[in-house]
Structure 1
Amino acid sequence: MTNAEKTLGMDVLGTGAPVRRAATGGPDRPLSISRIPGIDGLRALAILIVMVSHAGLGRYVPGGFGVTIFFFLSGYLITTLLRMEYGRSGRINLPAFYMRRVLRILPPLYLTMTLVVVLALTAVIDTRVTPLNLVTDALFLTNYAGLLGLPSTTPIPLWSLDVEEHFYMLFPACFAALAMWRGSRIARTLGAICLLTLLIRIATFAAIGEGEIYYWSHTRIDSIIFGAVLAVWQNPMLDEDAWRPRPWHVALALLVIALTLALRAPAFRETLRYTLQGGALFVLFSAAIQARGPVARLLAQRWLRVVALFSYTLYLVHMPMLEAMRPLGLWSVPVAYVLAFAWAAGMYACVERPLARRRQRSLRKVVQGA
């Protein structure tokens, strides 16, 4: 790639399509993809679905689907950043990538786990937290702890974080190896992995029934990879000629989502459901990121942006707060969620925001090829 091509933002994946400069800043700043209104709105929607479901409405609000949205979003954002980095520098700086992940994930996680330990030791929550459980949780093995005979007792839904971290451990190196390919070829490869994951789910269900299919990384990783497919093929934030869903496409995708949530048969729920949802989210994310008019304004509301900023810590802390406030009866949920937002706001101001500046400096260097 020539310097001129880098300046113009040509697509290094070989599609021949120009890459769109997606957000704030001039040529000396990396693209900012986390503040796209559609992304913020979807992130906020995902955490709100999870929190409402865990507030006692799980029978009516599909908390698991909120997690699936998080998975898709994570795969899309991370792969888009990797694609941008390769486009600017011609390589993927893996040490810098993993340092950014450490700064993003570990401080809020370990501080919230410390809070849980304090609550457990003071009998505010009725949870027995053992050192072995904490080690398992800290090493991102919670979703396989049952196989190890060490089921987690920590009231944090860490299994989904484990799935994401297992993806992050492997995918950047794989992407670096495939980055010279055309985007459509990478998408086909990722699609084949999604198909393989579906076949593994079907085989696992046939062998043991539902089991832990919902939680295991090797049976849920496709929910993240579907987002990666959108990042390398028809990316609405990078590709000028990206596919724009029509209203009937969106309506059909919403219908598919509704059907996947309505069909409760275990054989469907633990096999095809995640595949169909991934395909539908491909459409919905494409539409949301490119949205204009009322939809864009809805997704860009300030309160949704605030919820999106706090979403990671909210995910970590909302269930411990629910457990701690359980004695309050009817007041337990509102008080717990006020405290959860307070903890998340404090974490953002004192931990996440300062570390985000450091991550941005690192990202600026690698994206600009420094």
Structure 2
Amino acid sequence: MPDSGKRAPAVMPYLPQLDGVRALAILIVFAAHCGYSHVVPGGFGVTVFFFLSGYLITTLLRIERARTGAVSLPAFYLRRSLRILPPMYLTLLAAGGLYALGLLDWMPVDPAAILGQATFLTNYPGLFGTEAVLPVPLWSLAIEEHFYLVFPLAYVLWLGRLQPRRAALACLGICAAVLAIRCVNVWRLADYSLNYSWTHTRIDAILFGCCLALWNNPVIPADAAWRPKAWHVGFSLAVILGTLAVRAPAFRETLRYTLQSAALFVPFAYLLHGEGPAVRLLASRPMRQLGLWSYSFYLAHMAVVALVLHLWPGLHGLSLMLAAFPPTLLWCWGMYTLVERPCAHLRRRLLAERPPEPILADGGRQAGVTPA
């Protein structure tokens, strides 16, 4: 039978360990951008954000359909717009101001590239150059936005009408097609490193998260979700470490993303059951707080790093991280207090009859957007 969402909760419960996952992922990205990219896999941090977004968004769609009998696309796009756009445009404006004042020792910025950032097209350098942009890393957010535009419509018209298992298999089929495209690109393109940033070659990381939300979802009681054992998690983490150890470019731009995304299914399933020391660590207050601010942190951290390097050119590695971390947190606090929370209140007022997002302890809501 179609995915009716029977026995789905009325609202998605708040899962504090997922905020901890966000915090861990943003720390990986931050360390990589501060000079540790040779040992810290910043790209894997982005893959974690992708998987998490796919899981959350699809789970929210399933719960809304169970609660109301349908999915409101206008409500979905309004929620996403109020969640994503105000912090993003304000961060772009702030980075542009620092650049205009000469406070960023940055490459020359092309206005057309900024337009690409503002319209979520900067991950396609054939349209807008990705090199001459402001230091706001929007290529991954562009991939997320393209997913947000298409996937809810596909869910309403197709995936939501299938049995959850069949819908998950359909997503896996698309993942296989994406892998095939990457392999063809390696064979045909001189610069196949663009597999890293194109939507049609990276969307599978998000779709693997959708698979977990559609089938064996611990949040949906009717799914009777599989509970991984510790050795399952250990094996999946070993697979991920193995993908990081292999340095062959062709592997890294093809199978690496597939293996990492598929392996993430296991630790995420483990964490979603809400038990164990890893869950308690990720759900600790500092990790929850950083996870709550992770979107603004991701948007702002590269501009802050560039500003710190302008003021103290000799900093690198740990010293750069220690100098850039506090002002980035200050920006996040201001953004959350003055922009994100008011936007969350506005969302609730505009959509008072459709509350599919879980209410947090501080009155905010858990959203699927990657801080990437």
TM over 0.5: yes
Tell me if 1:210 matches 2:192. Answer: yes
Q: Which residue of 2 aligns with 1:247?
A: 230
Provide the C-alpha distance between the structure 1 equivalents of 2:303 and 2:212, rounded to a whole number of angstroms.
34
Match of 2:346 among 341, 345, 358: 358
Q: Which residue of 1 aligns with 2:257?
A: 274
Tell me if 1:235 matches 2:208. Answer: no
Asked if the contact 2:54/2:206 (under 8 Å) is kept, the reply is yes
Q: 1:255 to 1:86 in 2, by over 3 A?
A: same
Match of 1:145 among 125, 129, 136: 125
1:203-244 per-residue CA deviation (whole Å, 9 max, x = no partner) reads: 011111533110000000000000011111111112351111
Deviation, 1:149, is: 5.3
Provide the C-alpha distance between the structure 1 equivalents of 2:11 and 2:352, rounded to a whole number of angstroms.
9
Q: Which residue of 2 aligns with 1:339?
A: 327
TM-score, length-scaled by structure 1: 0.89
Tell me if 1:119 matches 2:109. Answer: no
Q: Which residue of 2 aligns with 1:325?
A: 308
Q: Which residue of 2 aligns with 1:288?
A: 271
Q: Which residue of 1 aligns with 2:141?
A: 161
Bigger mean CA deviation after superposition, 284-293 or 197-206: 284-293
Q: Which amino acid is the alignment partner of residue 187 of structure 1?
A: A
Match of 1:176 among 156, 162, 165: 156
- Give SS of 2:194's match: coil
Q: Which residue of 2 aligns with 1:109?
A: 88
Asked if the contact 2:195/2:202 (under 8 Å) is kept, the reply is yes
Deviation, 1:354, is: 1.4
Q: Which amino acid is the alignment partner of residue 175 of structure 1?
A: Y
Asked if the contact 1:86/1:367 (under 8 Å) is kept, the reply is no
Bigger mean CA deviation after superposition, 126-135 or 213-222: 126-135
- Give SS of 2:193's match: coil
Q: Which residue of 2 aligns with 1:301?
A: 284
**C-alpha RMSD of the superposition:** 1.9
Tell me if 1:194 matches 2:175. Answer: yes
Provide the C-alpha distance between the structure 1 equivalents of 2:127 and 2:227, rounded to a whole number of angstroms.
44
Q: Which amino acid is the alignment partner of residue 310 of structure 1?
A: W
* Percent of paired sites with the same residue: 47
Tell me if 1:18 matches 2:7. Answer: yes
Asked if the contact 1:133/1:152 (under 8 Å) is kept, the reply is yes
> Bigger relative contact order, structure 1 or 2, given CA contacts below 8 A and separation 6+?
2
Asked if the contact 1:85/1:91 (under 8 Å) is kept, the reply is yes
Asked if the contact 1:142/1:151 (under 8 Å) is kept, the reply is no
Q: 1:94 to 1:219 in 2, by over 3 A?
A: same
Match of 1:97 among 63, 67, 76: 76
Provide the C-alpha distance between the structure 2 equivalents of 1:37 and 1:235, rounded to a whole number of angstroms.
17
Q: Which residue of 1 aligns with 2:112?
A: 132
Provide the C-alpha distance between the structure 2 equivalents of 1:307 and 1:244, rounded to a whole number of angstroms.
27
Q: Which amino acid is the alignment partner of residue 347 of structure 2?
A: R
Q: Which residue of 2 aligns with 1:65?
A: 44
Q: Which amino acid is the alignment partner of residue 169 of structure 2?
A: R
Q: Which runs of 5+ in 1 are unaligned?
A: 1-10, 22-29
Provide the C-alpha distance between the structure 2 equivalents of 1:150 and 1:316, rounded to a whole number of angstroms.
16
Asked if the contact 2:135/2:302 (under 8 Å) is kept, the reply is yes
1:330-370 per-residue CA deviation (whole Å, 9 max, x = no partner) reads: 354322221111001100011001112233455552358xx
Q: Which amino acid is the alignment partner of residue 184 of structure 1?
A: R
Q: Which residue of 2 aligns with 1:48?
A: 27
Provide the C-alpha distance between the structure 1 equivalents of 2:196 and 2:126, rounded to a whole number of angstroms.
13
Q: Which runs of 5+ in 2 are unaligned?
A: 357-372
Bigger mean CA deviation after superposition, 99-108 or 235-244: 235-244
Count of residue pairs the alignment pairs up: 347
Asked if the contact 1:142/1:152 (under 8 Å) is kept, the reply is no
Q: 1:121 to 1:275 in 2, by over 3 A?
A: same
Bigger mean CA deviation after superposition, 150-159 or 273-282: 150-159
Provide the C-alpha distance between the structure 1 equivalents of 2:125 and 2:188, rounded to a whole number of angstroms.
20
Asked if the contact 2:239/2:259 (under 8 Å) is kept, the reply is yes
Asked if the contact 1:190/1:229 (under 8 Å) is kept, the reply is yes
Bigger mean CA deviation after superposition, 148-157 or 45-54: 148-157
Q: Which amino acid is the alignment partner of residue 214 of structure 2?
A: V
1:88-119 per-residue CA deviation (whole Å, 9 max, x = no partner) reads: 11211111111111101110000000011110
Provide the C-alpha distance between the structure 1 equivalents of 2:192 and 2:253, rounded to a whole number of angstroms.
7
Asked if the contact 2:193/2:253 (under 8 Å) is kept, the reply is no
Q: 1:152 to 1:232 in 2, by over 3 A?
A: farther
Provide the C-alpha distance between the structure 2 equivalents of 1:81 and 1:363, rounded to a whole number of angstroms.
15
Match of 2:293 among 304, 310, 329: 310
Q: 1:360 to 1:258 in 2, by over 3 A?
A: farther
